[in-house]
């Protein structure tokens, strides 16, 4: 692949990643952690939806409206409707400014909205809703919100931000089963990465892992190209190496070597010649003597203990 082809593929991947996340419709679940926060990616997806011309409704529970709108230009901010559950979600101030009915009513009101055109609903965050509402109620409301409407003009896309560490596996899996796409954020060495799981209807779920960073204007900058599942591929340029070259030992025997090996008698294999050779002192054997000085405590017994052996 030439460098220009690589860049071209990189640009396609940028569009692919956001578009494929947004094209499925239904719910996209963003799972983040303390170390790798997901609100920036949520805002990047909102920016993309707004640039498509859609209206974006944000149910904001965790940050103020000013903080959420920060970084968006006026074009995007004009398409953003912020339902404020940050200032007074539980109606403690009793000034009447809070959204009536609390968080559940606010969520259900989003289902009942009547304005035409495709709409994106961003829930910041699902964790806050999950801590304050029963899981079953929340799942029912989400299902009602994101179910595919047959007429294409009223399609609703739901983006939900979930803080993974706050919940047990049960609620997380329940929400995950409602989602058509799941993005799990992690990272290494200061570089964030997203693991995306797509659940397309009537197809196997597909995975993709992508390193990215979010620019200050909430556009996405992909780094290093997509990391697909590792597939071992043979490299056509390197010739296969013969491991039997340049050995320091013989792998094969020549005919002479084989005959010599076969005719060798093993040391502990007793044949009659060997026995006689051992018992008869050879010509060179008389040259060795043993000089022994016995100690005071030595027990010198003239009897040979090996006398009873029958050799």
Partner 1 sequence: MFPELNNLLNTTPDRAEQGKLTLLCDAKTDGSFLVHHFLSFYLKADYKVCFVALIQSFSHYNIVGQKLGVSLTAARERGQLVFLEGLKSAVDIFFRPQEEPHPLQFLREANTRNLQPLYEFVREALKPTDEEEAAWRCPVLLVDDLSVLLSLGLGAVAVLDFIHYCRATVCWERKGNIVALVHDSGDAEDEENDILLNGLSHQSHLILRAEGLATGFCKDVHGQLKILWRGPSQPTAPRDRSLTYQYKIQDKSVSFFAKGMSPAVL
Residues in contact with partner 1 by CB under 8 A are 34-35, 37, 39-40, 62, 64, 66-67, 71, 86-90, 92, 127, 131-132, 163, 165-166, 190, 213-214, 216
- Is the CB of 67 or the CB of 105 nearer to partner 1? 67
CB-wise, 121 or 130, nearer to partner 1? 130
Nearer to partner 1, 80 or 156 (CB): 80
Q: How far is the CB of 166 from partner 1 (least distance, A)?
A: 5
Closest distance to partner 1 from the beta carbon of 268 (Å):
56
User: Which residues lie below 8 Å from residue 94, measured CB to CB, with a gap of 6+?
Assistant: none
Nearer to partner 1, 157 or 167 (CB): 167
Q: How, if at all, do strands 191-198 and 206-214 pair?
A: antiparallel
- Looking only at the bridges linking them, the beta strands covering 191-198 and 181-188 are antiparallel
Min dist. Cβ of residue 76 to partner 1 (A): 16
Task: Find the shortest distance in angstroms from Cβ 125 to partner 1.
Answer: 8
**Closest distance to partner 1 from the beta carbon of 143 (Å):** 24
CB nearer partner 1, residue 57 or residue 163? 163
CA distance linking residue 272 with residue 278, whole number of Å: 10
Report d(CA 142, CA 82) in Å as an integer: 18
SS3 of the chain: helix, strand, coil, percent, to 5: 35, 20, 45
Report d(CA 208, CA 226) in Å as an integer: 7
Tell how strand 191-198 and strand 220-227 pair up: unpaired
Report the nearest approach of partner 1 to the CB of residue 197 (Å): 22
| Residue 26 or 103 having the CB closest to partner 1 | 103
Tokens for 245? 């070259």
Burial class (CB in 10 A: 0-12, 13-18, 19+), 186: middle
């Amino acid at each position: 692949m030439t460098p220009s082809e690589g860049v071209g593929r990189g640009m396609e991947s940028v569009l692919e990643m956001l578009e494929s996340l947004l094209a499925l419709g239904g719910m996209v679940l963003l799972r983040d952690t303390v170390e790798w926060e997901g609100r920036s990616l949520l805002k990047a997806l909102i920016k993309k939806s707004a640039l498509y011309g859609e209206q974006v409704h944000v149910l904001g529970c965790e940050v103020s409206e000013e903080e959420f709108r920060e970084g968006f230009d006026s074009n995007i901010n004009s398409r953003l409707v912020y339902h404020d559950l940050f200032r007074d979600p539980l109606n403690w101030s009793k000034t009447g400014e809070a959204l009536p009915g609390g968080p559940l009513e606010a969520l259900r009101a989003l289902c009942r909205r009547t304005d035409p055109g495709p709409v994106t609903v961003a829930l910041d965050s699902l964790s806050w809703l999950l801590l304050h509402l029963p899981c079953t109620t929340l799942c029912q409301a989400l299902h009602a919100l994101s179910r595919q409407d047959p007429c294409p003009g009223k399609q609703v896309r739901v983006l939900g931000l979930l803080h993974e560490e706050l919940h047990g596996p049960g609620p997380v899996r329940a929400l995950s089963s409602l989602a058509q796409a799941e993005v799990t954020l992690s990272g290494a060495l200061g570089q964030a990465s997203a693991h995306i799981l797509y659940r397309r209807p009537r197809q196997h779920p597909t995975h993709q892992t992508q390193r990215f960073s979010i620019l200050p204007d909430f556009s996405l900058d992909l780094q290093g190209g997509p990391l697909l599942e590792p597939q071992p591929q043979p490299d056509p340029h390197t010739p296969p190496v013969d491991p039997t070259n340049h050995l320091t030992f013989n792998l094969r025997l020549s005919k002479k070597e084989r005959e010599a090996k076969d005719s060798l008698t093993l040391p502990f294999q007793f044949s009659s010649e060997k026995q006689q050779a051992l018992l008869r002192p050879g010509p060179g054997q008389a040259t060795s003597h043993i000089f022994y000085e016995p100690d005071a405590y030595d027990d010198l017994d003239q009897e040979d203990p090996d006398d009873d052996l029958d050799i």
